[in-house]
Amino acid sequence: MPAILYGEIVDINPYVRRITAPNPGPLTGLGTNTYIVGDQHVAVIDPGPIEQGHADQLYQLLTAEGRTISHIIATHTHPDHSPAAVRLAELSGAVVIGKPADDQQFQDALFEADVELYEHWQLTTDEFDLQAIYTPGHVSNHYCLLEKNSGLLMAGDHLMNGSTVVIVPPSGDMYDYVASLQKLKNYDIDCIAPAHGDLMPEPTTVIDQVVAHRLGRELKVINGLRVGGRQSMEVLVTRVYDDVDASMHSMAVFSLHAHLLKLQREGLVDEIAAEWLITET
């Protein structure tokens, strides 16, 4: 398995390579992985942030190798994924592909797509075969990209290696997220390439583990309300995420809200005056 290296393009398989942006942090792990699909005329998936000069470096490296960028694809439009698309398109003249956000909550407000992604959108060339899979949940405009020749799923933020994905309502939806995870098992996937962290082999096992983790957290939500009674999210988060450092509770409360909205949709909890309570019998 190729190691995560900043500023160096590494081979993943004969169809896909990776370069990691220098933007490590609590929510990005070691940094955003940009994937380069193809050989001479390549597609760049998740071009990354703009501030660190990632686009210029990537363009210079590919140009030095005699390659051209034909397509730039964003799995979604969070600020660590899509902003560099503007600069990279300016340098290369490539077509920008993605789905604009439904809202501007934590989004790249400058993102504009020349071609809008849709379910089962496909890009087939002599060098690769990409298929888009609509995977809402992390955000409503999220897509995974499957390179069908190799079975490599470039998962964006749908799955991460080493951490769980933050779900921020209303664009983020836990009900949709779990359904999108299960949906991936219908595809011929050999390996998951996340936007953050190393490759994840045995994709069915990975997906089942993530679903089990989310449903386990959901059970803690229900038990927390049963034990503590009607309470605010600020109180409940300390019960449900007691295994997470308290410094991260300000982020965990977003995913907690997503769990509560899922349970409300299923008729198990309700909200009254900014407090949540069990409604099941």
Domains detected in the chain: 10-162+187-201 (3.60.15.10), 211-278 (1.10.10.10)
Residue 226: C-alpha distances to residues 26, 272, 281 (Å): 32, 16, 11
Are the C-beta atoms of 231 and 275 separated by less than 8 Å? yes
Torsion, CA 243, CA 255, CA 260, CA 118, rounded to 10: -140
Question: Rounded to a whole number, what is the distance in angstroms from the first to the last CA of the chain?
Answer: 50
pLDDT at 24: 87
**SS3 category, 258:** helix
**For every one of its 281 residues, what pLDDT tens digit does the chain have, with 9 covering 90 and above?**
676 666 789 999 999 999 999 998 888 888 999 999 999 999 999 999 987 789 999 999 999 999 999 999 999 999 999 999 999 999 999 999 999 988 878 899 889 999 999 999 999 999 999 999 999 999 999 999 999 999 999 999 999 998 889 999 999 999 999 999 999 999 999 999 999 999 999 999 999 999 999 999 999 999 999 999 999 999 999 999 999 999 999 999 999 999 999 999 999 999 999 999 999 65
Query: Cα-flanking dihedrals φ and ψ of residue 196, to 5°?
Result: -140, 120
Cα angle 150-87-52, degrees, rounded to a multiple of 5: 85
**Residue 245 burial class via C-beta count within 10 angstroms: exposed 0-12, middle 13-18, buried 19 and up:** exposed
pLDDT at 69: 98
Model-level pTM? 0.94
Q: Where are the beta strands (DSSP E) in 31-112?
A: 33-37, 41-45, 68-73, 95-98
pLDDT at 244: 92
